[in-house]
Amino acid sequence: MLMPEDVETLLALYRTMVKIRRFETLTGELFAAGKIPGFIHLSIGQEASSVGVCSTLRPDDYITTTHRGHGHVIAKGGDVRKMFAEVMGRKTGYCKGKGGSMHIADFSIGILGANGVVAGGFPIIVGAGLSIKLRKTDQVAVCFFGDGASNRGPFHEALNMASIWRLPILFVCENNQYASTTSVHYSTSVKSIALRAKGYGIASKSADGNNLLEVREAALEAVNRARQGEGPTLLENRTYRIRGHFEGDPQRYRTKEEVEKFSGNDPIQRFQKFLKDKKLLSERRDQQIRAEIDLELEEAVRFAEESPFPQPMDALEDLYTGDEAQALTQRSPL
Amino acid sequence: MSIRELTNTEAMAEALKEEMTKDPSVFIIGEDLVAHGGIFGQFVGLPQAFPGRVIDTPISETAIVGAGLGAALTGMRPFVDLHFADFTTCAMDEIANQVAKIRYMFGGQVRIPLVIWAPDGAGLSAAAHHSQSLEAWFIHTPGLKVVSPCNPSDVKGLIKTSLRDDDPILFFMHKKIFSRKGPVPEEEYFVPLGKADIKRNGTDVTVITYSIMVLHALEAAEQLEKEGISVEVLDLRTLWPMDWEMIAQSVSKNHRVVVAHEACLTGGFGAEVAARIQEELFDELDAPILRVGAFRVPIPFSPPMERFVIPGRDSVIKAIYKILGKEAN
């Protein structure tokens, strides 16, 4: 049932998943070492969703992502140097240190931004989809969100609007079982988020979100439909959040046994086994890929650590456009 | 320059028509636009002139404003009709958390050419959910520009400028001025953002105001002229950016200031204007600055109560008497 893929494509998918895992692991370590201010949300265990979906997109396609968005940004082609610099609050970061972990964007490759507000991406993606339709291009727009976001109003307004206008949108739910600390089984009226598509008359599919190729196949089908003007799709990738809601989360709402059980269903290990079973990935090649990624990310961390912090007065830049922009940020030079 | 009379509504429609003709990325989105021509008839003719570019939506304010934002981020210049300023509350996350912050949060990567047009104000017995003046919330939100003109020539010139601006704009228009007429030049012109306008010259006191209160202030000025009191009426037109230069000039000339708006007095924009004047121009003042605004209650339905809680011509007159140390007749 799975589509035939050439070896290099499969290895590239594997490589991106490993890269996301390494980025997240390093980010966790840097945070624990006190090198990242604020707080961070890691997507460890959810790599197959990011990579499976984004690997079906073109650079000019759009995505919106979430507070747990590092994986989506990397999968869409984001620059890990600028990402590390941003989460470490440096001037060389994607947002010059104004956004941090929850607000990374790269408009040059269609990343319309991570969002600190749960469900914040839905209304924006409707606008991107509408814009594609008005400009008559064949781009596609993808909104990543979690199970928790499907209980907010914007989800419902956006699915209805995308449906009546047949917008080229993928609504991709990463059902990782928890909205912050609250179980999806408690908070959500349906067993599967995909069921909610029916109420809005749009196509849907629920995939094993830890099976890379299953996610990719579902996404590819939805992307093709969207490009051909056949409207939006709601995809649910059933997965599990291995780490806490945020780093340092005491996780009083679940047991260690539960986490261990799901850790055995690791999407990267599964795909690695698939590749090795098919003899597409040798142990040596695997080690080579991992070594290359380690090198790239260590260099990126070094770049970030060696980058300067912004000047305090930089806080007054980038709010408005135009020559007098800065004057609008301060009332008077007292 | 030849002049003809248009209503505020006609002036707005003309501005939209001109800009939509010139720029294919401009489109209008909101509720009840195509068949109805807008809830106040403000877009009559435009859906036919620009098929597909005047877009009806479901009643989904969150998604309407978000759709405007998403389109602005991807190459369009949307004009969002929010139906009533009161409904900004239904889209507050999109306006205050997304539209206002996205450029800044993402380090200036992107421009947001977005106009959110919202009819505001009381006086129509529309009661508490259709009568508010909420501009202070949005002036208080970094990232937005706020416009609130009072006559057709300013409406047209500011709509045109707003549609060409690259920052998000909350454009308020008082419902009671829609059908009022005024002169509008035939030739193309623009009114810059952040420039106030002296609507009447005077020498005894300056009334700093905007939106419908400009009209009330002008009536007050006319009345007081008969009593030998000369009132200057300064129409801010754009609330943020605020034209501090013109305010300072007028204050330094007349030394007595009344700040007037229809919005609730407490925490209103008048407080900001007054505070800044006393911080920077204290030595110019011959009397404490007085503020005119509504009582701090929701707008009541029944006309006698509604008239009582919102300020009008007489409230401005009272404030001017007081600042000049005169007893009301």
| pLDDT (tens digit per residue) in B203-223 | 999 999 999 999 999 999 999
Inter-chain residue contact B76 with A106, CB threshold 8 Å? no
Q: Judge whether B14 and B6 are in contact, CB under 8 Å.
A: yes
The per-residue pLDDT for B38 is: 87
Q: Is residue A24 part of a domain?
A: yes
Residues of chain A predicted below pLDDT 70 = 1-4, 326-327, 330-334
pLDDT band of residue B40 (cuts 50, 70, 90) is confident
pLDDT digits (tens, 9 = 90+) for A249-306: 999 999 999 999 988 999 999 999 999 999 999 999 999 999 999 999 999 999 999 9
Alpha-carbon gap: A271 to the closest alpha carbon of chain B (Å) = 34
Using the Cβ of B57 and the Cβ atoms of chain A, whether some distance falls under 8 Å is answered with yes
Q: Go through the domains of chain B in sequence order and give each one's CATH number.
A: 3-185 (3.40.50.970), 197-323 (3.40.50.920)
pLDDT digits (tens, 9 = 90+) for B96-140: 999 999 999 999 999 999 999 999 999 999 999 999 999 999 999
Give me the mean pLDDT over the B227-231 stretch: 97
Q: Amino acid identity of A68?
A: R
Structural domain containing residue A180: 7-329
pLDDT digits (tens, 9 = 90+) for B259-314: 999 999 999 999 999 999 999 999 999 999 999 999 999 999 999 999 999 999 99
Alpha-carbon gap: A38 to the closest alpha carbon of chain B (Å) = 15
Using the Cβ of B69 and the Cβ atoms of chain A, whether some distance falls under 8 Å is answered with yes
Inter-chain residue contact A117 with B98, CB threshold 8 Å? yes
The per-residue pLDDT for A333 is: 47
Q: Is residue A1 part of a domain?
A: no
Catalytic residue among B36, B83, B129, B130: B130
pLDDT band of residue B327 (cuts 50, 70, 90) is confident
Among residues A114, A160, A140, A163, the alpha carbon closest in space to that of A62 is found at: A140
The per-residue pLDDT for B251 is: 98
Q: Is residue A50 part of a domain?
A: yes
Inter-chain residue contact A126 with B67, CB threshold 8 Å? yes
Instruction: Provide CB contacts within 8 A for B158, sequence distance 6+.
Output: B147, B149, B171, B191, B193, B237, B238
DSSP codes of every residue in A186-251: HH-SSS-GGGGGGGGT-EEEEEETT-HHHHHHHHHHHHHHHHTT---EEEEEE----S-SSTT---
Question: Does position B1 have pLDDT exceeding 70, yes or no?
Answer: no
Q: Is residue A334 part of a domain?
A: no
Average pLDDT, whole number, for chain B?
96
Instruction: Return d(Cα B94, Cα B98) in angstroms, integer.
Output: 5
In the block, tokens 């956006």 appear at: A158
Q: Is residue A189 part of a domain?
A: yes
Assign residue A237 the CATH number of its domain.
Answer: 3.40.50.970
The per-residue pLDDT for B42 is: 86
A331 neighbourhood in chain B, CB within 8 Å? 276
B71 neighbourhood in chain A, CB within 8 Å? 127-128, 130-131, 134
Using the Cβ of B280 and the Cβ atoms of chain A, whether some distance falls under 8 Å is answered with yes
Residues A113-122 as b/e (b if ≥16 CB within 10 A, e otherwise) read bbbbbbbbbb
Inter-chain residue contact A318 with B280, CB threshold 8 Å? no
Using the Cβ of B31 and the Cβ atoms of chain A, whether some distance falls under 8 Å is answered with no
B200 strand-pairing partners: B233
Alpha-carbon gap: B76 to the closest alpha carbon of chain A (Å) = 7
Instruction: Give the one of B55, B73, B97 whose C-beta lies nearest to A112's C-beta.
Output: B73
Q: Pairing relation of β-strands A182-183 and A178-179? A: antiparallel
pLDDT digits (tens, 9 = 90+) for B172-211: 999 999 999 999 999 999 999 999 999 999 999 999 999 9
Angle between helical axes of B152-164 and B8-22 (0-180°, round to 10): 30
- Note if the bond before B241 is cis, omega within 30 degrees: yes
A327 neighbourhood in chain B, CB within 8 Å? 241
Total number of domains constituting chain A: 1
A141 neighbourhood in chain B, CB within 8 Å? 70
Q: Amino acid identity of A261?
A: K
Give me the mean pLDDT over the B37-48 stretch: 88
- How is residue A115 written in tokens? 């969002």
Show the beta-strand stretches assigned E in B175-236.
Answer: 181-185, 197-200, 205-209, 231-235
Instruction: Provide CB contacts within 8 A for B264, sequence distance 6+.
Output: B133, B293, B294, B295, B296
Q: Judge whether A163 and A198 are in contact, CB under 8 Å.
A: no
Q: Is residue A129 part of a domain?
A: yes
Instruction: Give the one of B106, B145, B241 whose C-beta lies nearest to A95's C-beta.
Output: B106
Percent of chain B surpassing pLDDT 90: 95
